[in-house]
C-alpha cells in the first residue's frame, strides 16, 4: 500500500461529517482523539476517508493550528496501514486536544496507540 494521502481520501462531505459527530464512536490517545463511523464510501479502493482538526480554543494562532494539522496529516499518511479495516469502509476525524505543540515523534506514538485501540475494537478475536 502506498504511503500517500490523496484528495479522494480526504473527508469533506458535510453529511458524512454530521453523521460522524452525531453517531460516531471515539477512541483517544493523548493528544489525539479519533472519531470514526463505519460508512459505505462511494469511492472504489478506498477503505478510509480521514480529516484532521485543531480547536481554536486551545491554539489561538492560525499558524499554530495549521502546523499541527500538517503534522497530523503527515503522521496519518505514514501510519495509515496500521488501521486495519477488514474490507469495511470508515470515516475518521482526528482531533488534536493538546494545549502545546507536540513533536512529530510524540504524535507518531499517539497515532500508533490509536491504531492499536481501533484495531482491538474492530478486529475479530480469532485472527
At residue 43, the pLDDT reads: 63
pLDDT at residue 113 tops 60 = yes
Beta-carbon neighbour count of residue 64 at 10 Å?
A: 14
Quote the Cα angle for 15-19-21, to 5°: 120
pLDDT at residue 127 tops 70 = no
Q: pTM, whole model, 2 decimals?
A: 0.90
At residue 42, the pLDDT reads: 66
37-56 burial string, b = 16+ CB within 10 Å, else e? bebebeeeeebbbbbbebee
pLDDT at residue 58 tops 90 = yes
Residue for grid cell 493538546 = 98
75-92 burial string, b = 16+ CB within 10 Å, else e? bbeebbeebeeeeebbbb
Each residue's pLDDT tens digit, 33-55: 999 999 886 666 788 899 999 99
pLDDT at residue 104 tops 90 = yes
Domain ranges across the chain:
8-122
Q: Which CATH architecture has domain 8-122?
A: 2-Layer Sandwich (3.30)
pLDDT at residue 115 tops 80 = yes
Give the residue ranges of DSSP H helices in the chain: 14-23, 62-79, 104-122
Q: Between these two residues, 29 and 2, which has the higher pLDDT value? A: 29
Amino acid at each position: 500500500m502506498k504511503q500517500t494521502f490523496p484528495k479522494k481520501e480526504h473527508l469533506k462531505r458535510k453529511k458524512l461529517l454530521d453523521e460522524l459527530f452525531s453517531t460516531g464512536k471515539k477512541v483517544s490517545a493523548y493528544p489525539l482523539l479519533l472519531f470514526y463511523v463505519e460508512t459505505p464510501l462511494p469511492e472504489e479502493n478506498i477503505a478510509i476517508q480521514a480529516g484532521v482538526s485543531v480547536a481554536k480554543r486551545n491554539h489561538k494562532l492560525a499558524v499554530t493550528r495549521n502546523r499541527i494539522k500538517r503534522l497530523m496529516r503527515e503522521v496519518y499518511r505514514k501510519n495509515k496501514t496500521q488501521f486495519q479495516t477488514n474490507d469495511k469502509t470508515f470515516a475518521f476525524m482526528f482531533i488534536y486536544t493538546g494545549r502545546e505543540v507536540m513533536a512529530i515523534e510524540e504524535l507518531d506514538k499517539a497515532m500508533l496507540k490509536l491504531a492499536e485501540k481501533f484495531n482491538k475494537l474492530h478486529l475479530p478475536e480469532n485472527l
